[in-house]
Amino acid sequence: MRYITDRKRAVGLGAAHTGTEHHWYMIVSSVALVGLIPVFVFLVGSSLGNPHDEVVATFSRPFPAVVVLLTLWVGWMHFRRGAQTMIEDYARGLTRKILLIAMMCISYTAMAAGLYAIVRIAI
Q: What pLDDT, on the 0 to 100 scale, is given for residue 73?
A: 96
Q: What pLDDT, on the 0 to 100 scale, is given for residue 23?
A: 86
Residue pLDDT, tens place only, 76-110: 999 999 999 999 889 999 999 999 999 999 999 99
- The CATH code that applies to domain 16-122 is 1.20.1300.10
Flag whether pLDDT at 34 surpasses 70.
yes
Q: What pLDDT, on the 0 to 100 scale, is given for residue 112?
A: 97
Flag whether pLDDT at 17 surpasses 90.
no
pTM: 0.81
Segment 5-33 shows an average pLDDT of: 77
Flag whether pLDDT at 54 surpasses 80.
yes
* Of 79, 112, 121, 88, nearest in space to 18 by CA: 88
Q: Per-domain residue ranges for the chain?
A: 16-122
Please list, in sequence order, all residues whose beta carbon lies within 8 angstroms of the beta carbon of residue 26, skipping any fewer than 6 positions away: 78, 81, 82
Enumerate the H helices of the chain as residue ranges: 6-10, 19-47, 52-60, 62-90, 93-122
